[in-house]
């Protein structure tokens, strides 16, 4: 039997090696960062317990992966595995990950999860991977100072409470005339790239740097540097970070409209309510005037009336408009506000402006300022353009005949004359606005341009 | 007596032990032969095996290692199937779940990935071993062809598995790989279309690759492996020199008494071990062959476990059809081919691989004289060895170049120099 003996050391050795490897594998798998945090949470719960019963209950909290499953938006957020106390106000002021998450009443976790606003990798259960700060994960967590960007995924209004930076960013985007070169939501020209999904592609650092010195991040870029204060650059960056083009689930879409008076007012004007109803004497006479409507009717009545006019007002001629529930809430908020605030502010919005004033907003709407400057003084660099390597001012155009200015706007100037005929084509050119700008807008714009010449 | 042995003997000899193993722990040559013949799992082995076949430096155990890797792949693969849905919606997030919430999910995936790569390597080296020892010569010509088919199957198995994680690496490797298949004249595009279930890599390609990977190809491989092993027995065991006595000095088999008895299973055709072989050179398969096989399996498992605990299988970004990485590379074992394709799609992608395959298949019929069988690098086969070595070295060099020396736009890069990474 000694012939068998010589194999024993080998069996012993290899068996030991495999055994050790399996044990190492087991412990490697068994030790997970999140367990440590849950232990700490349970300890806290036990020490915070006021009665023996609560203490006993706290001791039975299981160690487990916690997750919010959102099949509609194809997300599984396991953030609450470590951030286990986000919903418990008792943990306000605690250190992460055990801190309480304030202000989430409007966005309940079980409906929204975490990553829709904060980004990062919801499925991950260790810190670096979950926060998205690992190779091969394209969406690291949004830095706190940019968090308002996520509001723009759903909310298109400019007046989201608690998102002043986003509002400022949107304002700057219009003021700076970005859409003079870029397209957003199908609106704008195509000198520069489309911005619909820019937020999903670029990092905050990239965007901010690109505004300051475009050529540094995109060699050969024709984009003129955006000359703004640091905080405004941040606001503009934040606005673009929100433009992710992410398809939203039905639930989020239905939540899009805020029940705010300003939003209701916009819907009120858009849906043509003034055709029948009047406010402060302005509007149609078919339906009753709506000033102080809340003195006559309860809020419930108004809501019901929007849903099904005939149900609360038999024989009414008002048709059913199929408003969504959130639109109804916004419209109701607006009507309520009418009896609380003065209606003069509202009427001012409805006042028809002069053609010149309207032209100014057209100038802004189409992003003309992006190249021609906010007041048409030009000066934006356009390398190798014959006109002093700059986009020319618009003062001279103001003196020209209307028809000439109009054709200049509708047809554009694709070939900009070069300063050095052997040099490269100047990157900026005048796009053709034919088909994008309406007749009325064009006439108003021309009126506005005339005012520039006289200045 | 060794206490382990005593326990073992007691267990094997007990009522239950006997009902399972039929014979107790064998103590005579007859018992050793019976142990082999009466066990379903062991009866693919001969009862007695030639000493030369036990020589590790002759085979390096490469064929067995390939089978063991196949076995590891089978077991880990079945476990992985519990957690994986082959749809473009779910595949990638299933990978993430495997990583983050499935117990030992990472280890499972690592073992499957690295065992697959190791198997490609082991099968290739096994083929080289068989060539350099002239083991493909009569009567083993057909088994060589079965082996070539198994080599191709191994590559295709690995390739189909490559797509399943549905990340950028998978998506673009398969896109590049199937494009190479598309270069074949006339039928190339058709093959590509059938393989992908369309013109591009998408949902139907993922499903097809999955079905091929988990049913069709493993089934085919299992079938061919069975034939491969059965042929080894029928062709007289492993190849060995006609007069092996002079190379046997180093083999230690202990003081096993040789009773010159023959097992029933050894009564095979003219080339069987029973014919013209001195029984002195035979040793009992139990324990010498079986124990070595078990030890080799343990060693293989240990290596796979070790690698899997240290290195994680790659998982890149979610597959994105509009963002090709630059360069997009095929799996490493096809990078030699991709390098050739970079020179000429037709010559590199079609002619050279087709010629190589034809050469491999016809080899045993062109080079059939029994010279140098069972001897590494026999001096009598200088021409054949030179040609084969040139091919192997060329394949290795091309693969290394494709893997390490090719950067964006398939331009030459030095791997030790820092790469310019284009990020967005």
Tell which wins on pLDDT, B81 or A164: B81
For residue B199, being part of any structural domain is answered with yes
B5:A11 CB<8 A: no
Which residue range forms the structural domain that includes residue B111? 53-240+295-410
Verify whether the Cβ–Cβ distance A126 to B255 is below 8 Å.
no
When pLDDT is averaged across residues A81-92 and rounded to a whole number, the result is: 92
Percent of chain A with pLDDT over 70: 93
Are A342 and A360 within one domain?
no
Q: What is the pLDDT of residue B246?
A: 44
Residue B163 within a domain:
yes
Statement to judge: residues A155 and A185 lie in one domain: yes
CA distance A153 to A244: 7
The per-residue pLDDT of chain B, averaged, comes to: 87
CB atoms within 10 A of CB A40: 15
Say which range, A218-232, A284-298, B70-84, has the weakest mean pLDDT.
A284-298
Angle among Cα B315, B318, B321 to the nearest 5 degrees reads 125
CB-based burial, A117-154: b 16+ in 10 Å, e otherwise: bbbbbbbbbbeebbbbeeeebebbbbeeebbbbbbbbb
With 60 as the cut, is the pLDDT of residue B49 above it? yes
Higher pLDDT, A409 or A254: A409
Do B178 and B105 lie in one domain? The reply is yes
Inter-chain touch B317–A137, beta carbons under 8 Å: yes
The shortest C-alpha distance from A248 to chain B (Å) reads 16
Residue B422 lies in a domain: no
- Is B327 domain-assigned? yes
Q: Are residues B16 and B66 in the same domain?
A: no
Instruction: Give this complex's ipTM.
Output: 0.85
Out of A2, A201, A202, name the one closest to residue B254 (CB): A2
Weakest mean pLDDT among A64-68, A346-350, A375-379, A446-450: A346-350
> B283: nearest CA in chain A?
A3
Which residues, 6+ apart, have CB-to-CB distance to A373 below 8 Å?
A379, A380, A391, A393
pLDDT of amino acid A154:
81
Distances, alpha carbon A413 to alpha carbons A99, A191, A367, in Å: 58, 12, 16
What percentage of chain A exceeds 90 in pLDDT? 24
Instruction: Using an 8 Å CB-CB cutoff, list chain A residues near B255.
Output: 2-3
CATH of the domain at A322: 1.10.760.10
pLDDT tens profile A408-423:
888 888 888 888 888 8
- Chain A: closest CA distance from residue B268 (Å): 28
**CATH code, B197:** 1.20.810.10
Alpha-carbon distance B55 to nearest alpha carbon in chain A (angstroms): 15
**pLDDT over 50 at A328, yes or no:** yes
Pair (A389, A369) in one structural domain = yes
Residues of B within an 8 Å Cβ radius of A: 1-2, 4-5, 27, 89, 93, 96-97, 99-101, 103-104, 106-107, 167-168, 252-256, 287-288, 291-292, 294-295, 298-299, 301-302, 305-306, 308-309, 315-317, 424
Show residues of chain B in contact with A129, CB under 8 Å: 100
The reported pTM is 0.80
Q: In which element (H, E) is residue B185 found?
A: none
| Distance from C-alpha of A118 to C-alpha of A144, rounded to nearest angstrom | 8
Q: Is A282 left (phi over 0), alpha (psi -120 to 50) or beta?
A: beta
Based on the domain organization, do B180 and B211 belong to the same domain?
yes
Burial (0-12, 13-18, 19+ Cβ within 10 Å), A295: exposed
Q: How far is A72 from chain B (nearest CA, A)?
A: 12
Q: Are residues B11 and B119 in the same domain?
A: no
Domain count, chain B: 2
Of A4, A29, A206, the CB nearest to B5: A4
A29 shares contact with chain B (CB less than 8 Å):
yes
Q: Is the CB of residue A212 less than 8 Å away from at least one CB of chain B? A: no
d(CA B95, CA B317): 11
Contact status of A231 with chain B (Cβ, < 8 Å): no
Strand, helix or coil for residue B283: strand
Does A7 contact B299 at a Cβ distance shorter than 8 Å? no
Model confidence pLDDT, tens digit, residues B302-330: 999 999 999 999 999 999 988 888 888 88
B26 shares its domain with B69:
no
Mutation target for A interface from B35, B54, B302: give the one with most A CBs within 10 A: B302
Residue of B156 and B41 predicted with greater confidence? B156
Of A250, A284, A312, which closes a domain?
A: A250
Range with the lowest mean pLDDT among A131-145, A308-322, B48-62, B251-265? B251-265
In this complex, do B298 and A201 lie within 8 Å of one another by their Cβ atoms?
no
CB contact under 8 A, B299 and A14: yes
In a domain, B305, yes or no: yes
Distance from CA of B8 to the nearest CA of A (A): 12
How many contacts, defined by CB atoms under 8 Å, are there between A and B?
87
Please count the residues of chain B: 424
Domain tally, chain A: 5
Residue ending a domain, choose from A350, A371, A393:
A350
User: Residue B139: is the preceding peptide bond cis (ω within 30°)?
Assistant: yes
Residue B212 has pLDDT above 90, yes or no: yes
Cβ–Cβ < 8 Å for B126, B63: yes
- Asked if residue A42 and residue A137 are part of one domain, the reply reads yes
Q: Range with the lowest mean pLDDT among A115-119, A153-157, B74-78, B327-331? A: A153-157
Predicted local confidence at residue B271, as pLDDT = 46
Chain A hits for B298, CB-CB cut-off 8 Å, are 11, 14-15, 17-18
Among B100, B101, B287, the residue with its CB nearest the CB of A7 is B287
**Read out DSSP for A177-243?**
TGGGT--BTTBS-SSS---TTHHHH--HHHHHHHHH-HHHHSTT--PPPP---HHHHHHHHHHHHT-
Q: Establish if B269 belongs to a structural domain.
A: no
Among the candidates A141, A164, A195, a domain finishes at: A141
- Per the CB < 8 Å rule, is B103 touching A29? yes
Which chain B residues have a beta carbon less than 8 Å from that of A5? 2
Contact call for A7 and B316, based on CB within 8 A: no
Q: How far apart are the first and last CA of chain A?
A: 113
Evaluate if residue A35 carries a pLDDT over 90.
yes
B105 — pLDDT class (breaks 50, 70, 90): very high
Whether residue A211 sits in one domain with residue A152 = yes
Note whether A25 contacts B104, CB cutoff 8 Å: yes
Q: Is the Cβ–Cβ distance between A163 and A151 less than 8 Å?
A: yes
**A136–chain B Cβ distance below 8 A for any pair:** yes
- Same domain, residue pair A299 and A201: no
Nearest to A202 among B252, B302, B424 (CB): B424
**pLDDT of residue A106 exceeding 60:** yes
Asked if A3's CB is within 8 angstroms of B253's CB, the reply is yes
**Which residues constitute the domain of residue A373?**
355-454
CB-based contact B287 A15, cutoff 8 Å = no
| In a domain? residue B303 | yes
Residues of A in contact with B103 (CB under 8 A): 29
């Amino acid at each position: 039997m000694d012939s068998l003996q010589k194999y024993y050391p080998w069996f012993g050795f290899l068996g030991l090696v495999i055994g050790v490897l399996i044990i190492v594998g087991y412990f490697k798998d068994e030790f997970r960062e999140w367990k440590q945090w849950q232990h700490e949470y349970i300890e806290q719960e036990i020490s915070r317990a006021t009665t023996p019963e609560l203490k006993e209950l706290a001791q039975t909290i299981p160690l487990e992966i916690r997750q919010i499953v959102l099949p509609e938006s194809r997300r599984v957020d396991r953030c609450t595995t470590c951030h286990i106390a986000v919903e418990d106000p008792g943990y306000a002021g605690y250190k992460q990950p055990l801190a309480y998450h304030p202000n989430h009443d409007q966005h309940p976790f079980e409906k929204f999860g975490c990553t829709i606003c904060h980004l990062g990798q919801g499925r991950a259960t260790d810190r670096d991977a979950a926060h998205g700060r690992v190779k091969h994960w394209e969406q690291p967590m949004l830095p706190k100072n940019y968090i308002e960007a996520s509001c723009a995924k759903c909310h298109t209004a400019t007046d989201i409470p608690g998102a002043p930076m986003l509002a400022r960013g949107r304002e700057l985007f219009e003021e700076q005339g970005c859409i003079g070169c870029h397209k957003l939501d199908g609106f704008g020209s195509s000198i520069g790239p489309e911005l619909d999904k820019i937020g999903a592609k670029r990092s905050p650092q990239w965007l901010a740097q690109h505004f300051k010195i475009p050529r540094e991040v995109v060699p050969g870029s024709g984009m003129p540097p955006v000359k703004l204060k640091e905080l405004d650059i941040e606001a503009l960056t934040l606005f673009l970070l929100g433009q992710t083009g992410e398809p939203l689930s039905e639930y989020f879409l239905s939540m899009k409209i805020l029940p705010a008076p300003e939003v209701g007012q916009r819907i009120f004007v858009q849906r043509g309510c003034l055709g029948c109803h009047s406010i402060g004497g302005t509007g149609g006479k078919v339906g009753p005037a709506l000033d102080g409507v809340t003195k006559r009717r309860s809020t419930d009545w108004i809501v019901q009336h929007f849903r099904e006019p005939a149900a609360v007002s038999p024989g009414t001629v008002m048709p059913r408009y199929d408003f969504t529930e959130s639109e109804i809430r916004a419209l109701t908020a607006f009507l309520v506000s009418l009896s609380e605030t003065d209606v003069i502010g509202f009427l001012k919005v409805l006042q028809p402006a002069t053609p010149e004033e309207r032209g100014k907003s057209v100038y802004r709407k189409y992003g003309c300022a992006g190249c021609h400057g906010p007041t048409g003084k030009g000066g934006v660099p356009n390398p190798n353009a014959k006109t002093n390597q700059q986009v020319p001012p618009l003062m001279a155009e103001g003196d020209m005949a209307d028809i000439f200015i109009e054709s200049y706007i509708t047809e554009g100037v694709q070939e900009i004359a070069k300063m050095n005929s052997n040099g490269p084509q100047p990157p900026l050119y005048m796009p053709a606005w034919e088909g994008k700008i309406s007749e009325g807008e064009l006439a108003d714009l021309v009126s506005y341009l005339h005012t520039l010449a006289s200045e | 007596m060794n206490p382990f042995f005593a326990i073992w003997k007691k267990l094997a000899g007990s009522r239950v032990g006997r009902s399972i193993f039929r014979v107790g722990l064998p103590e005579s040559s007859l018992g050793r032969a019976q142990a082999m013949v009466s066990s379903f799992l062991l009866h693919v082995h001969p009862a007695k095996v030639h000493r030369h076949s036990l020589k590790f430096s002759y085979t390096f155990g490469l064929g067995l290692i390939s089978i063991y890797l196949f076995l590891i792949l089978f077991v880990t693969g079945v476990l992985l199937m519990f957690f994986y849905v082959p749809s473009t919606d779910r595949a990638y997030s299933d990978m993430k779940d495997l990583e983050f919430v499935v117990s030992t999910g990472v280890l499972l995936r690592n073992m499957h990935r690295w065992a697959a790569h190791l198997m490609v390597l082991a099968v290739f080296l096994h083929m080289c071993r068989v060539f350099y020892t002239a083991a493909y010569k009569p009567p083993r010509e057909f088994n060589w062809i079965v082996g070539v088919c198994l080599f191709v199957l191994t590559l295709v198995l690995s390739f189909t598995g490559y797509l399943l994680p549905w990340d950028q690496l998978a998506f673009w490797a398969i896109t590049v790989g199937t494009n190479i298949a598309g270069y074949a004249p006339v039928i190339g595009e058709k093959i590509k279309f059938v393989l992908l279930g369309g013109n591009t890599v998408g949902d139907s390609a993922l499903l097809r690759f999955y079905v091929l990977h988990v049913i069709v190809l493993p089934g085919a491989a299992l079938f061919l492996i069975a034939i491969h092993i059965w042929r080894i027995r029928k062709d007289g065991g492993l190849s060995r020199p006609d007069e092996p006595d002079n190379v046997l000095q180093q083999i230690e088999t202990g003081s096993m008494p040789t009773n010159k008895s023959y097992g029933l299973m050894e009564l095979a055709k003219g080339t069987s071990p029973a014919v013209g072989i001195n029984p002195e050179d035979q040793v009992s398969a139990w324990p010498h062959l079986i124990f070595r096989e078990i030890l080799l399996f343990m060693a293989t498992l240990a290596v796979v476990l070790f690698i899997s605990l240290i290195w994680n299988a790659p998982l890149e970004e979610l597959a994105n059809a509009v963002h090709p990485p630059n360069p997009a590379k095929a799996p490493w074992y096809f990078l030699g081919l991709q390098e050739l394709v970079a020179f000429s799609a037709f010559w590199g992608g079609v002619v050279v691989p087709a010629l190589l395959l034809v050469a491999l298949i016809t080899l045993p019929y062109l080079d059939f004289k029994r010279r140098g069988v069972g001897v590494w690098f026999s001096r009598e086969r200088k021409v054949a060895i030179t040609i084969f070595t040139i091919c192997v070295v060329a394949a290795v060099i091309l693969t290394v170049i494709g893997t390490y020396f090719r950067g964006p736009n398939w331009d030459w890069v030095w791997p030790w120099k820092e790469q310019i990474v284009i990020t967005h």
